[in-house]
Structure formats: C-alpha cells, structure tokens
Amino acid sequence: MRAQLIENLKRLHLSGIRNTLDVRIQEAAGNQLSPLEFLELVLQDEITMRNDRAFAKRIKAAQFRDLKTIEDFDFTFNASIKRKQIMDLAAGHFIRQHQDVLLIGPPGVGKSHLAQGLGYQASKMGFTVFYRSIFTAVSELMQAEAMNETAAKLKRYLAPEVLIIDDMGLKQLPKNAGEHLFEIIMRRSELHSTILTSNRPLSDWGKLIGDIPTAGAILDRLLSRAHVIEISGRSYRLREKTCGKQKDDDNQQSQH
C-alpha cells in the first residue's frame, strides 16, 4: 500500500509530501495526531517545498552580480545610511506602489549591496527581479538594435516587477545610450519599480549620457515617484582592504 501511495504522490507531483512522508507518519504516531492534523502537516510540507523552489527560480532569474542581503549590511559603519529608511524599503511598499529608488554616492559606500539586498528581499516576497549593470544593459540593447531585435530584448527589462540598474556614473556611456535608458524608464514608469545606483550626482547625468535633454527627461520621470537616498562617508571596500592589510601585518609580526 505504501508503494502505491508513493507512486500516486509522484504522479501528482507532490514531492514535498513524498520527501517527508516517513517522518510525518512517525510524528503522527508518536504524538497521536488526528487525521486532520496529519493532513495539515503534509500539505504544509508541500507548500514549503514549492515556495522554496519558486524562490530559488526567482533568484536565478534575477541574475544578481552578488548575492547580498539587507541583514548582512553593516549600518554601523556609515552614519549617513539610515537603517529605518532602508528597512522601510525592504518591506516592499515602494514596489506595490510602483515607485523607484535612487541610491547616489561615491564608490564603495554600499549602494550596490543595498540595491541587490532590496532585490533579494523583493524576491523573497514573491516579486520578479532583474539585475544589470548600466554597461551590460546598454550593451545588450545596442546589440539588439543592431540585430533588429530591440523589442524582444526590451521585454526582459520591462517585465520584471523590480529592475535594478547598477553602476551609473563609473564612466561615460556610449553614444545613444541615453535613448535606451529613457525607453526603459519611460515604459516602466508607474507600472513597475526601478532601482538605480549612481556614483555621480544627478547634475552630472547629462555629461555621462552625452545628451542633456534626454538626461533631464529620465530624471523627470524618476524623481516624480522616487525615493532618493544620498550616501556619503567612508568606503566599505577601503575598510575591508585596510582590515585585510592589518591582519596580514599582524600575522607577519606573530611569525617573527
């Protein structure tokens, strides 16, 4: 009878129940669970496994550069980053309200970590997320344009409920890059949320894009419904390098 039950679970694709069945049977016998209580346990096992699989699928589809979480972020290092403000964003209200997030500050202050951490948290809550550096995004769209495949490629950027565009301002963008960025921002506006990080102040975007009117149009769209977080202060990367050097120096001293 058990063999037939396992076969039926396979046919119904109930692997969550199948994988924990023996444990749950023992638990039910040991704790004298009622049939209803037993059924509730095994169904919860199935739901948990399906949720875990769906979450893993969303994380894979997001294509994060690094798997960062908000919980791993050190809010004590840089006082300009307000923990409450970030945690409010992590609750996902801005996504439900189709608002955007701009993280602005010099390199190394944690913008990419926060952006990907917010994306990771969004994935946990069931939202679809897609991550790209600005250079990869522009390169993909320009290549698609050259191959007359712009519409198909744009869908990858327009469909996710949260789009993360990272590293704006590391260097000047290629010619016509602003047109592609504007297309994405304009068509996502008030429909989905976009998170952007910029190493340069917004006043420099015209130079970076090479098109001041287009930069102005992009910012006009973004700033109308965006949470703007300006970060200053010390670099996390410099701290890590300093700490690593200090450890190496301490190890060398201990060997002498």
Summarize pLDDT for 19-30 with one digit per residue, the tens.
999 999 999 999
Domain end among 27, 60, 93: 60
What pLDDT, on a 0 to 100 scale, did the predictor assign at position 74?
92
Residue type, position 245, single letter: K
Domain match, 183 and 92 both: yes
Do residue 55 and residue 98 come from a single domain?
no
Asked if residue 75 belongs to a domain, the reply is no
pLDDT digits (tens, 9 = 90+) for 86-121: 999 999 999 999 999 999 999 889 999 999 999 999
CB-based contact 32:99 (threshold 8 Å): no
- Asked if residue 248 has pLDDT above 60, the reply is no
206 lies in a domain? Answer: yes
Report the pLDDT value the prediction gives residue 246, as an integer from 0 to 100: 47
This prediction's pTM: 0.83
pLDDT of residue 242: 53
Q: Residue 26: phi, psi to the nearest 5?
A: -65, -40
What's the whole-number mean pLDDT along residues 203-219? 86
Check whether 244 has a pLDDT greater than 60. Answer: no
Contact 38, 24 (CB under 8 A): yes
Evaluate if residue 254 carries a pLDDT over 70. Answer: no
List the domain range (segments joined by +) for residue 178. 83-239
Reply yes or no on whether the pLDDT at 210 is more than 60.
yes
The full 3-state SS of 25-60, as one line of letters, equals HHHHHHCCCCHHHHHHHHHHHHHHHHHHHHHHHHHH
Express the helix, strand and coil content of the chain in percent, nearest 5 each: 60, 10, 30
Q: Look at the block and give the residue holding tokens 């039926």.
A: 8
Q: What is the CATH number of the domain that holds 136?
A: 3.40.50.300
Is residue 207 one of the residues assigned to a domain?
yes
Tell whether 134 and 228 lie within a shared domain.
yes
* 15 and 50 inside one domain: yes
Same domain, 233 and 184: yes
What six digits make up the tokens of 30?
A: 């040991």
- The total domain count for the chain is 2
- Residue 69 belongs to some domain of the structure: no
Give the model confidence (pLDDT) of 51-97 as tens digits: 999 999 999 999 999 999 999 999 988 888 999 999 999 999 999 99
Evaluate whether residue 254 is within a structural domain: no
Is residue 93 domain-shared with residue 48, that is, in the same domain? no
